[in-house]
Amino acid sequence: MEVKKVAVLGAGLMGHGIAQVAAQVARCEVNLRDISQEFVDNGMRMINNSLQRFLRKQTVTEAEAKEILARLHPMLDLKEAVEDADLIVEAVPEKVEIKRNVFAEVDKFAKPEAIIASNTSSISITEIASATNRPEKVCGMHFFNPPQLMKLIEIIRGAKTSDETVDIIVNVSKKMGKETVIVKKDSPGFIVNRILIPALNEAISLVHEGIADPEDVDKAITLGLNWPMGPIKLLDYLGLDTTLSIAELLRDELAPKYRPCPLLRQMVRAGLHGRKTGKGFYDWTRKE
Ligand code: 3HC
């Protein structure tokens, strides 16, 4: 099956970018659905901002930007969003019950041959798939932030994901201009977050233990390891709350050594979630 029509569920930090890539690079028709007009409008605003950046760089022309926007259909109704989609990509909040409810609903309305993928960063694909009657057509499709620029998609097999489903996701990922890796077993954190989250946690521990200031941790890693962004800045960029919930999952499902640093927990409790709340380790109130 060739994917021509995509539904993206959730217009947040990841969902808006996934919808944009599907419309811009894969040239698919895309329904972008969220639960409130405010969320949908915010997703479209972020897409517009990103397109402005591509326009400034002249990697997209005015005419192409118009065509991309014409292929994007913001909406609130779940049935309308998924009923004629070949691929549904879920990017709703990282709570297992929310995801299972969404998958059960989508399963009722989507075409029998449609593939349902989750952009979860850590939740079990097998558990999400078991909320549907088509676990062989459910797969993990993990994008990286910002999806418009990051080249990788991790494809995660659930216990019952079929080879055909994996092939379809590999092909549509290529159409989106991405490289893929296959995660053969459904394991917490998959590949990237299993390595990244402990590294970010160590970075906060250095600050928590008074060993170095956030700016110096970032300087050390950008200059010493050539990361494009230091780990403390990356934490702010991804969201401290998101990092905490992945660290907790790694600890609960893999080993106690993944225990989140107390400073991470404390900052999340204080509402210092990073870029999305305007403040984390850095002040983001004057940035986009
Ligand atoms: N859309 C379009 N263009 C964008 C963009 C967007 N959303 N965001 C940034 N850009 C462009 C900018 O316009 C700029 O273009 P220019 O070079 O022509 O001026 C260029 O990208 C660089 O942007 P900035 O100058 O604003 O900032 P940076 O140089 O720091 O680049 C970055 C931003 C690309 C995000 C870079 O810092 C980076 O790669 N950071 C690391 C990101 C990363 O590690 N992501 C993965 C996180 S893990 C994850 O997502 C998994 C999850 O499950 C936790």
| Chain centre to alpha carbon of residue 17 | 9
Looking at residue 25, the DSSP 8-state letter turns out to be T
Looking at residue 158, the DSSP 8-state letter turns out to be -
pLDDT band (50, 70, 90) for residue 130: very high
**pTM score of the predicted model:** 0.95
Place of tokens 């077993």: 185
**Is the CB–ligand 1 distance for residue 149 below 6 Å?**
yes
C-beta separation of 152 from 179 below 8 A: yes
Q: Looking at the DSSP assignment, which residues form a beta bridge with residue 182?
A: 155
> What pLDDT, in 10s, does the model give residues 211-231?
999 999 999 999 999 999 999
Q: Per-residue pLDDT for 65 more than 90?
A: yes
> What pLDDT, in 10s, does the model give residues 131-180?
999 999 999 999 999 999 999 999 999 999 999 999 999 999 999 999 99
**Is the CB–ligand 1 distance for residue 50 below 6 Å?**
yes
> What's the CA gap between 215 and 232, in Å, rounded?
8
Q: Per-residue pLDDT for 17 more than 60?
A: yes
> What's the CA gap between 234 and 197, in Å, rounded?
11
Mean pLDDT of the chain: 97
pLDDT band (50, 70, 90) for residue 287: low
C-beta separation of 259 from 248 below 8 A: no
Catalytic residue among 31, 50, 118, 121: 121
Residue 23 identity: A
Give the Å distance between the CA of 149 and the centre of ligand 1.
Answer: 6
**Is the CB–ligand 1 distance for residue 222 below 6 Å?**
no
Give the three-state DSSP class for 113: coil
